Structures are given as structure tokens and as C-alpha cells.
């Protein structure tokens, strides 16, 4: 028997995928100065949805490079705190001639989504956000644990202007409970819910 969170994720799967595609259309290439505005646009896109689903203290924090995105929900007294990490920036899509479809126009083929960032890392990031939304909907606007979110915009460039902020947030999280790019029960529950029609594809094809 599926949990209410899984039921919510399944019933909203089409919307979740449409939202992911909208994020994938933003060419947030962190290594190219001409896309600096797009990187900010991607951060604001994600921040807006975090606010909408009920996360608190949502901030797009300026750095010497690209913005850091922070949010939290800390009302589960006596429960552990999870730190969720992902990045909303992407690498350049070159060489363009190796793409069968435009890299910033998400395309579904063979139950996969093909676009720059579909896996690394907008797909994982959006899965985390939708897991939080599903859990909050299932628990009357609350989460069963405390959550801190850090999404960065410099992973692709390697600049890491936000390293100090990340380290400070991580140092406050209880040891043994960290949700990163590949682990975490919050995202795993959502991943189980939406494994049916469209998997998230790879960089290119």
C-alpha cells in the first residue's frame, strides 16, 4: 500500500515533469559569462517553488560568483535534521553536433528526457524539491523531519564562492543524516513513486 506522499507524487507526476522541463529550458551555464543572467533565473525559478510548497527562510544569496540558494523547515522537534544538496547550473552543451535534439529543449524519447542538466543535476534537484512537496502535502503542510536545503550555482565552474556558507550549514546538521545527490530517504520515496513513465535521461545522447 503506497503512502499518501507517494500517492500525491503519482497523481501529480505530469505536472512535476512539466515543471522540470521548464527548469531544463533555462541555459544556466555557469562557466560562460553570457549566461550569468540565466544562472540567476534558474536560482529564482527554484526559490519560487520552494516558497510555494511551504519551505521557509528561502534566500537567493549573492556570492562573488553565482548565487547560492538556501531554504529550511525546522519544526520537527526532537527529529533529526537532513541537509539536502544539489546544483542548478550546468556545463556548456558542446559539441552541439552530437545532440539529436536541442540541448535546452527537453525531449522525451524511449521514456527518457534528453536535455542538458536532465541528470546532472537539475533532474536530481527537482526530484528533491518534489519529494519535499509530496511529503508536506501528505503531512498537512509539515515534514516528518527537519530539513535544510543548499542548492548551488557553481558546481559546473568549480569556483565554489559559496564554500564557507555550505560548510557552516553542514556543521549544524546532526551527524548521520545527509541527503546528497545519490542518497536520502526523502528523495528515494519520490523516486519510487515516479519510476513508471519517464525516467530522467543523461547529458546528451
**pLDDT single digits (tens) 144-187:** 999 999 999 998 666 655 556 555 555 555 433 444 433 333 34
59 is catalytic: no
172 is catalytic: no
Is this prediction's pTM over 0.85?
A: no
Q: For the segment 52-111, what is each residue's pLDDT rounded down to a tens digit?
A: 999 999 999 999 899 999 999 999 999 999 999 999 999 999 999 999 999 999 999 999
Instruction: Please pick, among 72, 120, 121, 155, the residue that the annotation labels catalytic.
Output: 155
Cα–Cα–Cα angle for 90, 182, 3, nearest 5°?
115
Whole-angstrom distance, CA of residue 84 vs CA of residue 86: 7
Kindly give, in sequence order, each residue whose CB lies less than 8 Å from that of residue 131, ignoring residues fewer than 6 positions away. 5, 9, 186, 187, 189, 190, 191
Give the three-state DSSP class for 90.
strand
Instruction: Please pick, among 38, 49, 72, 89, the residue that the annotation labels catalytic.
Output: 89
Measured CA distances, 162 to 69, 84, 150 (Å): 10, 15, 10
Pick the closest to residue 132 from 88, 199, 189, 67 (CA basis). 189
Amino acid at each position: 500500500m503506497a503512502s499518501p506522499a507517494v500517492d500525491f507524487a503519482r497523481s501529480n507526476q505530469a505536472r512535476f515533469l512539466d515543471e522540470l522541463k521548464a527548469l531544463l529550458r533555462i541555459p544556466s551555464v555557469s562557466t560562460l559569462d553570457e549566461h550569468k543572467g540565466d544562472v540567476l533565473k534558474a536560482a529564482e525559478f527554484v526559490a519560487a517553488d520552494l516558497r510555494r510548497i511551504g519551505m521557509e527562510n528561502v534566500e537567493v544569496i549573492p556570492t562573488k560568483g553565482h548565487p547560492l540558494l538556501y531554504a529550511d523547515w525546522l519544526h520537527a522537534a526532537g527529529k533529526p535534521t537532513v541537509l539536502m544538496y544539489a546544483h542548478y547550473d550546468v556545463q556548456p552543451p558542446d559539441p552541439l553536433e552530437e545532440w539529436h535534439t536541442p540541448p535546452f529543449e527537453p525531449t522525451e524519447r524511449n521514456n527518457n528526457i534528453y536535455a542538458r542538466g536532465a541528470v546532472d543535476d537539475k533532474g536530481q534537484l527537482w526530484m528533491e524539491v518534489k519529494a519535499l512537496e509530496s511529503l508536506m502535502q501528505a503531512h498537512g503542510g509539515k515534514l516528518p523531519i527537519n530539513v535544510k536545503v543548499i542548492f548551488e550555482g557553481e558546481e559546473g565552474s568549480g569556483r565554489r564562492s559559496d564554500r564557507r556558507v555550505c560548510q557552516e550549514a553542514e556543521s549544524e546538521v546532526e551527524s548521520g543524516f545527509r541527503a546528497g545527490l545519490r542518497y536520502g530517504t526523502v528523495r528515494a520515496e519520490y523516486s519510487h513513486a515516479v519510476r513508471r513513465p519517464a525516467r530522467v535521461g543523461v547529458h546528451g545522447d
